Amino acid sequence: MTIDFETPKPILQMQVMLQTVAENMMRSTSREFDENEHAIPWDYVEFMHTAMRSMGGGGGLTVTEDKPKEGAEKRPPLGYQKLAAQIEMLAWGDVGYYLITPGGGLGAAAVQAAGTPEQKAKFLARFNDDKPTYAAMCMTEPGAGSDTSAIRARAILDEATKEWIINGEKIFVTGGDKSFTEYEKLGKGFIVVWASIDPSAGRSGMRAFVVESGTPGVKITKLEHKLGIRASDTASISLVDARVPFENVLGSPTVEKTTTGFKGAMATFDATRPLVAASGLGVARAALEFLKEKLKENGVEIRYGLPRNKLTSIERDVIDMDIQVRSAWLMVLKAVWMADNKKPNALESSMSKVKAGDVTTKVTQKAVEILGPLGYSREFLLEKWFRDAKITDIYEGTGQINRMVVARQILGYSGAELR
Amino acid sequence: MYSFEPNEEQQMLIDAVGKYASNDLRPAAHDAEESRELPKKLVNKGWELGFLQASTPEAYGGFGERSAVTGVLALEEMAFGDLAGALAVLTPSLFATPILLGGSEEQKQQYLPKIVGGDWAPYTAALMEMSFDFDPNALKTTAKADGDTYVLNGEKIFVPFAKDTEAMLVYASLDGVTQGFIVTKGTAGLSISEEREKLMGLNALPMYRVKLENVAASRLGGASGHNFELILSAMRIASASAAVGVARSSFEYARNYAKEREAFGVKIAQKQAIAFFLAEMATEMEAIRLLTWEAAWKLDNNKDDAHTTAYLAQAGAADMAMMVTDRGVQIYGGHGYIRENPVELLLRNGRGFASLLGLVII
């Protein structure tokens, strides 16, 4: 190994292809689906499903490895690196669309991370079927956001029928509607619901349950109207005496006096945080490129190489945006490279999210400011990207939560020492 | 293929330089600054690590090839110890590296074996000028061709070890293009200030003002000259990696202090106000470190945007160093303002990265 920044060929090829998709299937209708919240861009959904299946991806945007040809030299794994690059490019097209790329999403990720081989076989095969299929993660509740240990949803085992009875109220479920509501054009999805099997045990009592689409007692009660990422549905889901088969619990059905169950859930965040960071940085890059294009059209050149006290204010801003977007992207690359190479990356993963959350919001805000009315007008997509960008610093752990994770790592503190 | 892991050879160098930085440079930094003097033994020990020697091909008396990536890795470590000390150890590179990058065969043969084969010797370079709009690509010092030689006129500031130097590289504008010129000791018209320069930081590094009045000099690269952009970018990434080293020094002092210092019954690091400061410092350092690595890698691999990336790395590093070293002082509170504690010097040195250029090259 030696330090190397050469983009691997498989990633380059994939980027070229996805850029075409982004330009022709996303940007062209971005505005339409921003203005018609909750409408589904079926063209994109069906195209992506077919495309991913034909590439043998199946299961949507997940970590995939090209099978090495027989006798070929063994290459280092690229799965997470490829996925981050995919996500960045799709988000460059439209981050709302990226979020509705068919597949298992965070729901399948939970099964992948905590499921038994039987559970994986049972729940994950469907994503490779004829119809696009979704799964979602239900964690947040009205009274439990970043503090997931405050989750109130409750799962009780009915010894007679060997079923779990789940009650609770879940909000902010990304893709909850497409995962649970039965659409003719979609396959049967599921949601993964976090609930406690023993409230006295705190975090160690927390479990995730696979709840199949259409389960009685489960209802989509609301679809949120949001600041941005409007192509992506965000659902509220209520569960009233919802019955779920015993074998749908992910992880051990009994409570031990440890927090390993919960730590399992948190470990999935180490893998997903740089990916969320990547999605934000796609938006940031889109905004920065648009800004540069408009400045150029208006005869404003960025004079790279000049001392900073000779630059105009706009030039300084653009150069700073270049620095921020590029360096944040390198942090994402490092975090996913570590994931591919099985190096513990909790610190790098959270740092990349902290940085990307900051960069994405600031860059899009600044781009709107610099372009004046062009930035504010809905004639262009920049104002939309500004609205889309903000979610990066909120979901998958707010910027503040991730600062906590980073701080604990660099200080060597436990959750009790730094709270 | 992406990779963020130094190779074995680089790791050995990082370890060796890191040890020297922590055990020798860091403990000496305070006294060196206050007494305005670096112990000769300290500089010699750094020279013996062989960084320049390992970057010079065998044909010129060294035992390796130059790699910008290796350079930024080593310099971050050294600057972590002490910036003034690191700059002093690497001062001969200010003369040797541009010769390596842009010198004629004759110039390489004449100077490189002598420099890398011997003890640390004060070969140096003069780039900066006393002007608010100092721009390495628009120098006020001029060079004019005069037959086979060139004639230099102008004034240079902040020239390390100029008083003792055998030869220095002076950068001047030749018809609007920056070029380096070799000026040897005692040349008529060359005068070096008696007084040392006085700066906000870096006081352990002896720097002088240099005046040039019709000084005869030979052009780097001979009659056809050289590509100054290569040299400038090598200076920029050096500045960036040194900034990361200085920032890391302040960060580590502040982190350790915050874990010791108590207020309101807890360590101050247990307060989110301080913990978040530290998290942001670590994040910004990592961002610029990676950008600097990428710029160095692009220079090593002749990528189209290598020079732009080097420029971005330097600009980003100046801001980052300011932010981190300022917070280092802030975390120490009143104690941070006292010169007995290490962080105020790091703040003074940290501010320099926005203003200084050409004091280090890799």
**What CATH number has the domain bearing residue B341?**
1.20.140.10
User: Which of A6, A304, A406 is the closest to B282 by Cβ?
Assistant: A406
**CB atoms < 10 A from the CB of A84, how many?**
27
For residues A59 and A185, give the distance between their C-alpha atoms in angstroms, rounded to a whole number: 17
pLDDT at B313 over 60: yes
Q: Is there a single domain that holds both residue B155 and residue B207? A: yes
Confidence bin at A187 (pLDDT 50/70/90)? very high
More reliable by pLDDT, A391 or A202? A391
Looking at the complex, report in whole angstroms how far the Cα of residue B118 sits from the nearest Cα belonging to chain A. 31
Q: Which residues lie below 8 Å from residue A77, measured CB to CB, with a gap of 6+?
A: A65, A340, A341
Decide if pLDDT at B204 tops 60. Answer: yes
Indicate whether A1 pLDDT > 80: no
Decide if A99 contacts A232 (C-beta within 8 A): yes
User: Does residue A12 belong to the interface with chain B, where contact is any CB pair within 8 Å?
Assistant: no
The mean pLDDT value for A1-12 works out to: 94
Angstrom distances, CA of residue B93 to CA of A5, A258, A347, B159, B361: 26, 57, 36, 13, 7
Given a contact cutoff of 8 angstroms between Cβ atoms, the answer to whether B197 and B207 are in contact is yes
Same domain, B161 and B179: yes
DSSP code, position A175: T
B262 CB contacts (<8 Å, ≥6 apart)?
B268
B316/A327 Cβ within 8 A: yes
Is the pLDDT score of A256 beyond 80?
no
Please tell me the least confidently modeled range out of A102-111, A162-171, A336-345, B178-187.
A102-111
Domain boundary at B182, B203, B224, which? B224
> In terms of Cα–Cα distance, which of B92, B45, B96, B91 is closest to B66?
B96
Q: Is residue A395 a contact partner of residue A224, using CB atoms and an 8 Å limit? A: no
With residue A405 as reference, give the H or E element that holds it.
Answer: helix A399-411
Residue A39: pLDDT band (50, 70, 90) is very high
Three-state SS at B97: helix
Same-domain status, B162 and B73: no
Region B154-180: mean pLDDT is 98
Question: What residue spans in chain A does CATH classification 1.20.140.10 cover?
Answer: 262-411
The span from the CA of A381 to the CA of A161, in Å, is 54
A262 pLDDT band, cuts 50/70/90, is low
Same domain membership, residue B179 and residue B96: no
List all residues 6 or more positions away from A373 whose beta carbon is below 8 Å from its beta carbon: none
Residues B291 and B233 in one domain: yes
Residues 278-297 of B with CB under 8 A from A: 278-280, 282-284, 286-288, 290-291, 293-294, 297
* Residues of chain B neighbouring A76 (CB-CB closer than 8 A): 1, 3
The string of DSSP letters for B266-292 reads EEGGGSHHHHHHHHHHHHHHHHHHHHH
Q: Give the length of chain A.
A: 419
Spatial distance between the Cα atoms of B96 and B125, rounded to a whole number of angstroms: 9
Mean pLDDT calculated for residue range A145-170: 93
- For B25-129, where are the alpha helices, taking DSSP H only? 26-35, 40-47, 51-54, 68-81, 83-89, 91-102, 105-117
Q: What are phi and psi of A394, to 5 degrees?
A: -115, -55
Distance from C-alpha of A179 to C-alpha of A210, rounded to nearest angstrom: 11
**Within 13 Å, how many C-alpha atoms sit on residue B183's CB side?**
34
Residue B328 lies in a domain: yes
Of A147-151, A331-335, A337-341, which one has max mean pLDDT? Answer: A331-335
Of the candidates A3, A7, A320, the beta carbon closest to that of B293 is on A3
Counting Cα atoms < 13 Å in the Cβ hemisphere of A112 gives 20
Question: Where does A262-411 sit in CATH, by number?
Answer: 1.20.140.10
Q: Pick from B224, B243, B260: which residue ends a domain?
A: B224
In a domain, B27, yes or no: yes
Q: Bridge partners of B151?
A: B144, B216
pLDDT of A265: 58
Q: Kindly tell me the burial class for residue B39, based on how many C-beta atoms sit within 10 Å of its own C-beta (0-12, 13-18, 19 or more).
A: middle
CATH number of A107-257: 2.40.110.10
Q: What is the per-residue pLDDT for B9? A: 94
In the block, residue with structure tokens 């861009």: A41
B80/A contact by beta carbon, under 8 A: no
Q: CA of A117 to nearest chain B CA: how many angstroms apart?
A: 32
Q: What is the pLDDT of residue A115?
A: 87
Domain's final residue, options B117, B142, B162: B117
Residue-wise pLDDT for A216-248, tens only, equals 999 999 999 999 999 999 999 999 999 999 999
Mean pLDDT of chain B: 97
Residues B212 and B304 in one domain: no
Q: What share of chain A is helix, strand, coil (3-state, %, to 5)?
A: 55, 15, 30
Which of A4, A310, A334 is closest, CB to CB, to B135? A310
Question: CB under 8 Å to B87, separation ≥6 — which residues?
Answer: B160, B202, B205, B242, B359, B360
pLDDT tier at B243, thresholds 50, 70, 90: very high
Q: Do A326 and B307 touch (CB under 8 A)?
A: no
Could you tell me which of B269, B245, B244, B215 has the C-alpha nearest to residue B25?
B245
Quick one: what percent of chain B has pLDDT higher than 90?
Answer: 99
Please give the pLDDT value at position A259: 53
Above 60 in pLDDT, residue A162?
Answer: yes
- Does B362 fall in a domain? no
- Model pLDDT for residues A67-85, shown as the tens digit of each residue: 556 666 667 788 899 999 9
Q: For residue B119, give the amino acid letter.
A: D
Least confident of A260-264, A303-307, B162-166: A260-264
CA B313, B316, B322, B328 torsion: positive or negative? negative
Residue A297: band (very low, low, confident or very high) from pLDDT cuts 50, 70, 90: very high
Overall average pLDDT of the A309-334 stretch: 97
Give the residue numbers of A marked as catalytic: 396
The CATH number covering residue B24 comes to: 1.10.540.10
Separation between Cα atoms, residue A355 and residue A358, nearest integer Å: 5
**Cβ–Cβ of A403/B275 closer than 8 Å?**
yes
| Residue that the structure tokens 């690590």 belong to | B49
Q: How confident is the model at residue A213, as a pLDDT?
A: 97
**Would you say residue B55 lies in a domain?**
yes
Give the DSSP H/E element, type plus range, for residue A237.
strand A234-245
For chain B, the domain total comes to 3
Q: Assign residue B201 a region: left if phi > 0, alpha if psi is -120 to 50, beta otherwise?
A: beta
Residue type, position A79, single letter: G
If asked whether residues B253 and B325 sit together in one domain, one would say: yes
Which residues in chain A have their CB less than 8 angstroms from residue B311's CB? Answer: 304-305
Instruction: Compute the average pLDDT of residues A390-394.
Output: 96
Tokens encoding A30: 């971005």
Mean pLDDT within B104-125: 97
Q: Is residue B18 part of a domain?
A: yes
Query: B288, A319: Cβ pair inside 8 Å?
Result: no
What is the arithmetic mean of pLDDT over A168-189?
Answer: 96
Q: What is the pLDDT of residues A361-379, one digit of tens each?
A: 999 999 999 999 999 999 9
Q: Are B201 and B346 in contact, with CB atoms under 8 Å apart?
A: no
Residue of A nearest to B355 (CA): A307
Helix or strand (DSSP H, E) at B219: strand B207-219
A306/B contact by beta carbon, under 8 A: yes
Average pLDDT over residues A388-416: 95
The reply to whether residue B1 touches residue A326, judged by beta carbons under 8 angstroms, is no
Q: Residue A260 pLDDT > 60, yes or no?
A: no
How many Cβ atoms are within 10 Å of A77's Cβ, its own excluded?
A: 15
Quote the domain boundaries for residue B17.
Answer: 8-117
For strands A190-196 and A135-138, give the pairing: parallel
Q: Rounded to an integer, what distance in angstroms lies between the CA atom of residue A297 and that of residue B213?
A: 47
Chain B touched by A83 (CB under 8 Å)? no
How many other C-beta atoms lie within 10 A of the C-beta of residue A131? 15
Is pLDDT of A121 > 70? yes
pLDDT tier, B38 (very low <50, low <70, confident <90, very high otherwise): very high
CA atoms of B85 and B94, how far apart (whole Å): 15
C-alpha to C-alpha distance for B95 and B111, rounded to whole angstroms = 9
Contacts of B276 in chain A (CB under 8 A): 400, 403, 407
Residue B88 has pLDDT above 80, yes or no: yes
Question: Is the CB of B2 less than 8 angstroms away from the CB of A306?
Answer: no
CATH of domain A9-105: 1.10.540
Using DSSP's 3-state secondary structure scheme, residue A125 falls into helix
Q: How far is CA B322 from CA A297, B86, B329, in A?
A: 35, 19, 11
* Dist CA A230 CA A383 (whole Å): 13
B282 part of a folded domain: yes
**Position A225: which residue type?**
H
Indicate whether B39 belongs to any domain. Answer: yes
Checking if the pLDDT of B254 tops 90, the result is yes
Chain B residues with beta carbon closer than 8 angstroms to that of A309 = 132-133
Instruction: Average the pLDDT over each of A117-126, B94-103, B113-122, B215-224 and give the range with the smallest value.
Output: A117-126
Q: Please check whether residue B1 touches A, CB under 8 A.
A: yes
